[in-house]
């Protein structure tokens, strides 16, 4: 099962979110032909991916930033961009365009650092925007725990779309990362679970100031964890009326 959309319209056009999606797609297309040339692809990733062993030698630090704009395949890219599309617009809406871009990049760098600390001598290149996007998901969980997220459940030849609270979707995702991280070696290939966890925690932490400006626990009490009504999203939080529970 995986999320396909949320019921949380943003109040402004998410230019940064769209820009990040376009940037990731364009960059992926720029080296798409290298997937038919394994040696050339390896050389490309050596120059631009995050390689913990190089960082330990004092080299390859730029990979902590450049790696978040690279992907290991079409499915990898599509999955990350879907998650960014679903959750990014609302965080950008709450933070503003410039601060959201800084938040996204910071989450990506912290995620890369978490991966490095988990396996500082790994020679395996790591690529993907999932650490930064995990930060977006962490911020979303803090601000909109009860926003409805539609998930697609596929059971052999049958499928069904179920709307469930965001906190369940994101809590299950986080738990899967924890189990995956504990059950695998960080210096091997595959999913960078510790980068996901580091990005998610960083995202929640970096969103705390926004949450506090919205009133902290009082924000949850007023909205009951749901997205604020568009008509009151930008009003002073002291004047936001209590919103009834959505059913």
What are the catalytic residues? 130, 196
Determine the 3-state secondary structure of 146 from DSSP. coil
163: left (phi over 0), alpha (psi -120 to 50) or beta: beta
For the range 32-35, what are the long-range contacts, defined as Cβ-Cβ under 8 Å and sequence gap of 24 or more? 35/73
CA–CA–CA angle 144, 69, 75 (5° rounding): 80
The alpha-carbon radius of gyration of the chain (Å, integer) is 19
Q: CA 138, CA 83: separation in Å to the nearest integer?
A: 12
DSSP symbols for 59-111: --TTHHHHGGG--SSHHHHHHHHHHHHHHHHHHHHHH-HHHHHHHHHHHHHHH
Q: CA 104, CA 22: separation in Å to the nearest integer?
A: 15
Q: CA 197, CA 184: separation in Å to the nearest integer?
A: 14
Q: Which tokens belong to 119?
A: 């396996």
Judge whether 103 and 87 are in contact, CB under 8 Å: no
């Amino acid at each position: 099962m995986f999320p396909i959309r949320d019921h949380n319209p943003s109040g402004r056009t998410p230019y940064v979110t769209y820009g990040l999606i376009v940037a990731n797609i364009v960059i992926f297309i720029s080296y798409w032909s290298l997937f038919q040339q394994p040696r050339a692809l390896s050389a490309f990733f050596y120059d631009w991916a995050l390689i913990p062993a190089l960082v330990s030698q004092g080299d390859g630090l730029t990979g902590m930033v450049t790696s978040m704009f690279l992907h290991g395949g079409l499915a990898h890219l599509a999955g990350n961009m879907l998650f960014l599309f679903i959750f990014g617009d609302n965080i950008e809406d709450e933070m503003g365009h410039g601060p959201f871009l800084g938040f996204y990049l910071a989450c990506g760098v912290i995620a890369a650092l978490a991966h490095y600390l988990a396996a500082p001598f790994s020679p395996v290149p790591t690529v993907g925007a999932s650490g930064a996007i995990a930060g977006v998901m962490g911020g979303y969980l803090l601000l909109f725990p009860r926003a409805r997220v539609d998930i697609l459940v596929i059971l052999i030849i049958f499928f069904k779309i179920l709307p469930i609270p965001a906190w369940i979707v994101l809590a299950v995702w986080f738990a899967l990362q924890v189990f995956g991280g504990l059950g695998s070696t960080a210096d091997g290939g595959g999913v960078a679970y510790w980068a996901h966890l580091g990005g998610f925690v960083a995202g929640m932490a970096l969103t705390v100031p926004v949450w506090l400006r919205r009133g902290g626990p009082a924000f949850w009490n007023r909205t009951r964890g749901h997205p604020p009504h568009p008509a009151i999203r930008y009003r002073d939080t002291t004047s936001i009326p209590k919103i009834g529970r959505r059913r």
